[in-house]
């Protein structure tokens, strides 16, 4: 594993545990192209033939070659050019002082280093401290006419089949150059009758999976909303014909960025496929002064020859070990109860303490005070930006509340929305120019709020000073950082006219700086990111917070589809999942309490309800659920995830499995959404498991989340062969009614 340069062949070979990526340099002019990405190769003999170039082609040696345009338009370039003859999607576009935009980058030099340099101001993957588990190739290429240098970074990891890529552009000219497009990576390859797998949605139905045939032309997932995006997700996979969960070739792409993005697959007239990943070029223009550099965010790509499960494992391993940095990464998170669905804005310290006292009796470990604790915030029409405690509403402030909650053995957390400002706020009245707006145009409101211009240092400093003062005033253990509207009316009072195109990206850089400052000043803080639910669930946010609120839709049945899409890429330990009251506040659906518990246990686990209004039976079930969380969460957090059945696809039931890394323990989650029409004639179901030791014996126990003593009325407990469970299946009875759940625990004997 690692990176090798074959000098004679002029080939770079990048090896992960199970894959190989090949890049070749051809001709005197220094064109460098993609040769191969797939199953691991033991050698490179014959690899040049895959590049499909004639070494005697004059286009490789002569800048005035007769068919130069034809060559550029078919060459599988590693970082595509613009305006010189390659008419497929470009990776970079510039504008010079003279108004020209052509770019042609050719190979200049390279270096291979142990470890991985950080990306200035940006979240990025990293090697584990004290381990030589990552190697990086840096290819330097130049446009000699523009005096523009591009450094292409490729990092491979010893423990996962993922490659991290990014690009750094430096202006070595004597004049400024405007970057109008900078992709983080490009991949050219032959078509394998690909299908596209992507995620789409809206508020309340984030990350619904969609699979469709890749036809000629361009297919993209993207956003220009500035960061709050439920509609598209920065992920795409290409699936070769016949690929499924366990079989077939899959190429997966994910973008480590929280702002505007573009992931695009293009099938051209020669049946070649080009994928580009990067910042969306719409409304993007970055002025690069002489000597300055621009760092593009990181993209992640992975290849699997064993279907979607192997792709998922690569992403999960990478993010659990190489992107999440929180001290909570490898720990159980406290079981929390959030005040939002319990009380909305209608609470005071008495109401909150009533909830806390009852929660403490049930095994809940943290009270989170959601929206409404600050300024004049009695509804969502005011006070965003006024980050000081409303002591008329909370007598004694957060200090009193935290002290009283701590006496119960619980922790305290709070909600905030630092990137936003209400027109009806002290902050807006004092600094109206701090809101993003275009001069002479009244900015559009959404949720009756504007967006703060956090590209400005004085704005960031003011907001963070207020927030840090609040967090220092009491023993606050958790912050939920929300962002409830997209960006619009793009204008900054602090940027000159020729830099207004930098605002989108500078906004995201400002966000990252604010969250880093928060963690620097409060290193033990548990940060959970959120954006109108799950609108900002991306690897960039995971770099700062080990968990992200998955969706404002807490309905357990709807969550099956939402959490399936999320878990395709992101580890279960990152998925904010809670039990809420029924009928559900938005869907109106009533689901059994134990089913809600089973679904939420496949995430960070917590509650969204008023425990003081529950029945005694429901309170007893909370005690059982919280006890099971402590028994099972290490396995959920650390285990490998397998998708066994998909409610999204079959419309009747959902099933997934988690196996410990040593394969000795496993959990199987099953939800029967619809009672089968064949009932009662078909009395059982068989689900083929995965990830077990084939020759081992496993004791299978059905866990009953309605009874404290699981030994009573327990189905299972027999020792079953791992091979039988995987090839034959786990057999269990159908359940009476809709929305029923089962949870099985397996342990090797």
Distances in Å between the alpha carbon of 449 and those of 246, 403, 422, 436, 717?
Answer: 46, 33, 5, 11, 56
Give the 3-state secondary structure of residue 68.
helix
CB distance 116 to 156 below 8 Å: no
CB distance 304 to 161 below 8 Å: yes
Q: Which two tokens stand for residue 29?
A: 């002019």
CA atoms within 13 A on the CB side of 271: 5
The distance of Cα 724 from the centroid of its chain, to the nearest Å, equals 35
- The residue among 119, 110, 166 whose CA lies nearest residue 138 is 110
Identify the active-site residue in 309, 386, 482, 704.
Answer: 482
To the query of whether residue 482 is one of the catalytic residues in this protein, the response is: yes
Distance of alpha carbon 173 from alpha carbon 163, whole angstroms: 31
Which residue carries 């409101």 as its tokens? 445
CB distance 170 to 293 below 8 Å: yes
Query: Which positions ≥6 away from 501 have C-beta within 8 Å?
Result: 178, 283, 284, 285, 286
CB distance 284 to 501 below 8 Å: yes
Other Cβ atoms less than 10 A from the Cβ of 430: the count is 10
Q: Which two tokens stand for residue 271?
A: 């049946």
Residue 48 host element (H or E): helix 48-51
Residues found in the chain: 749
Q: Taking phi first (over 0 means left), then psi (-120 to 50 degrees means alpha), and beta for anything else, what does residue 526 get?
A: beta
CB distance 255 to 222 below 8 Å: no
Give the 3-state secondary structure of residue 651.
coil
Distance of alpha carbon 33 from alpha carbon 23, whole angstroms: 6
CB distance 573 to 563 below 8 Å: no
Q: Where are the beta strands (DSSP E) in 594-696?
A: 606-608, 640-645, 653-659, 665-672, 684-687
DSSP state of 577: -
Q: Which two tokens stand for residue 312?
A: 């998922």
Q: Which two tokens stand for residue 31?
A: 């064109």
Distances in Å between the alpha carbon of 337 and those of 365, 563, 608?
Answer: 8, 20, 6
- The residue among 552, 658, 643 whose CA lies nearest residue 320 is 658
Give the 3-state secondary structure of residue 193.
coil
Beta strand 575-576 with 547-549 is parallel
Distance of alpha carbon 703 from alpha carbon 705, whole angstroms: 6
CB distance 226 to 507 below 8 Å: yes
Q: Which two tokens stand for residue 225?
A: 């909303």
- The residue among 675, 679, 671 whose CA lies nearest residue 647 is 671
Query: Burial, 674: exposed, middle or buried (Cβ in 10 Å; 0-12, 13-18, 19+)?
Result: middle
Which residue carries 């509340």 as its tokens? 401
If you write DSSP's letter for every residue of 106-155 in order, what string do you get?
EEEEEEEEES-PPPTTS----PPTT---EEEEEEEEEETTTTEEEEEEEE
Identify the active-site residue in 86, 538, 552, 704.
Answer: 552
To the query of whether residue 538 is one of the catalytic residues in this protein, the response is: no
Other Cβ atoms less than 10 A from the Cβ of 392: the count is 8
Q: Which two tokens stand for residue 512?
A: 């990252």
- The residue among 84, 82, 107, 111 whose CA lies nearest residue 30 is 107
- The residue among 572, 508, 496 whose CA lies nearest residue 544 is 508
Which residues are catalytic, by number? 482, 552
């Amino acid at each position: 594993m690692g990176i090798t340069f074959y000098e004679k062949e002029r080939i770079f070979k990048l090896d992960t545990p199970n894959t190989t990526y090949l890049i070749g340099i051809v001709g005197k002019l220094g064109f460098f192209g993609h040769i191969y990405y797939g199953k691991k190769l033991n050698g490179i003999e014959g690899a040049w033939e895959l590049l499909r170039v004639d070494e005697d082609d004059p286009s490789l040696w002569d800048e005035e070659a007769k068919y130069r345009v034809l060559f550029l338009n078919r060459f599988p370039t590693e970082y595509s050019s613009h305006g010189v003859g390659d008419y497929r999607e470009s990776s970079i576009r510039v504008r010079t002082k003279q108004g020209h935009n052509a770019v042609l980058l050719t190979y200049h030099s390279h270096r291979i280093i142990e470890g991985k340099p950080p990306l200035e101001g940006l979240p990025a993957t990293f090697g584990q401290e004290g381990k030589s588990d990552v190697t990086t190739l840096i290819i330097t290429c130049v446009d000699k006419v523009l005096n523009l240098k591009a450094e292409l970074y490729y990092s491979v990891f010893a423990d996962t089949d993922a490659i991290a890529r990014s690009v750094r552009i430096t202006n070595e000219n004597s004049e400024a150059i405007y970057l109008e497009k900078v992709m983080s990576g490009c991949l050219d390859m032959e078509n394998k009758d690909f299908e596209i797998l992507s995620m789409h949605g809206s508020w309340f139905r984030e990350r619904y999976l969609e699979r469709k045939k890749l036809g000629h032309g361009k297919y993209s997932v993207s956003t220009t909303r500035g960061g709050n995006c439920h509609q598209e997700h920065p992920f795409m996979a290409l699936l070769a014909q016949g690929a499924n969960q366990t079989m077939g070739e899959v190429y997966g792409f994910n973008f480590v960025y929280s702002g505007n993005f573009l992931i695009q697959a293009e099938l051209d007239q020669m049946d070649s496929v080009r994928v580009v990943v990067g910042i969306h070029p719409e409304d993007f223009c970055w002025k690069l002064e002489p000597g300055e550099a621009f760092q593009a965010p990181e993209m992640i790509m992975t290849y699997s020859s064993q279907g979607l499960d192997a792709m998922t494992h690569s992403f999960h391993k990478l993010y659990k070990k190489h992107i999440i940095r929180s001290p909570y990464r490898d720990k159980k998170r406290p079981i929390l109860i959030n005040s939002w669905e319990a009380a909305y804005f209608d609470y005071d310290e008495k109401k909150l303490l009533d909830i806390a006292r009852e929660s403490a009796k049930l095994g809940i470990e943290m009270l989170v005070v959601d929206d409404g604790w600050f300024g004049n915030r009695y509804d969502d029409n005011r006070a965003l930006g006024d980050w000081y405690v409303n002591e008329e509403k909370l007598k004694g402030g957060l200090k009193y509340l935290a002290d009283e909650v701590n006496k119960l053995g619980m922790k305290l957390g709070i909600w905030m929305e630092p990137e936003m400002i209400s027109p009806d706020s002290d902050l807006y009245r004092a600094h109206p120019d701090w809101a993003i707006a275009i001069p002479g145009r009244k900015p559009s409101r959404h949720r009756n709020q504007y967006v703060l211009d956090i590209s400005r240092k004085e704005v960031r400093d003011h907001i963070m000073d207020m927030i840090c003062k609040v967090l220092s005033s009491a023993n606050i253990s958790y912050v939920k950082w929300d962002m409830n509207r997209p960006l619009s009316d793009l204008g900054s009072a602090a940027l000159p006219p020729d830099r207004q195109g930098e605002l989108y990206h500078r906004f995201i850089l400002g966000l990252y700086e604010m969250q880093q400052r928060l963690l620097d000043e409060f290193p033990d803080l548990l940060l959970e990111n959120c954006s109108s639910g799950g609108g900002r669930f991306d690897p960039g946010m995971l770099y700062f917070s080990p968990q992200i609120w998955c969706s404002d839709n807490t309905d357990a049945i709807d969550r099956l589809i939402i959490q399936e899409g999320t878990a395709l890429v992101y580890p279960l330990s990152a998925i904010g999942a809670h039990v809420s009251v029924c009928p559900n506040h938005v869907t109106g659906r009533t689901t059994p309490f134990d089913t809600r518990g089973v679904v939420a246990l496949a995430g960070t686990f917590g509650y969204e309800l008023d425990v003081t209004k529950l029945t005694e039976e429901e309170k007893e079930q909370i005690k059982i659920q919280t006890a099971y969380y402590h028994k099972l969460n290490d396995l959920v957090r650390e285990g490998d995830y397998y998708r066994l059945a998909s409610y999204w696809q079959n419309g009747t039931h959902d099933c997934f499995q988690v196996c410990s890394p040593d394969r000795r323990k496993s959990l199987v989650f099953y939800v029967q959404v619809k009672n089968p029409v064949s009932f009662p004639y078909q009395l059982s179901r068989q689900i083929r498991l995965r990830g077990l030791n084939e020759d081992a014996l496993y004791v299978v126990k059905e866990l009953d989340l309605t009874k404290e003593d699981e030994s009573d009325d327990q189905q299972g407990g027999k020792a079953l062969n791992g091979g039988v469970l995987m090839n034959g299946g786990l057999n269990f009875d159908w359940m009476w009614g809709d929305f029923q759940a089962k949870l099985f625990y397996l342990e090797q004997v």
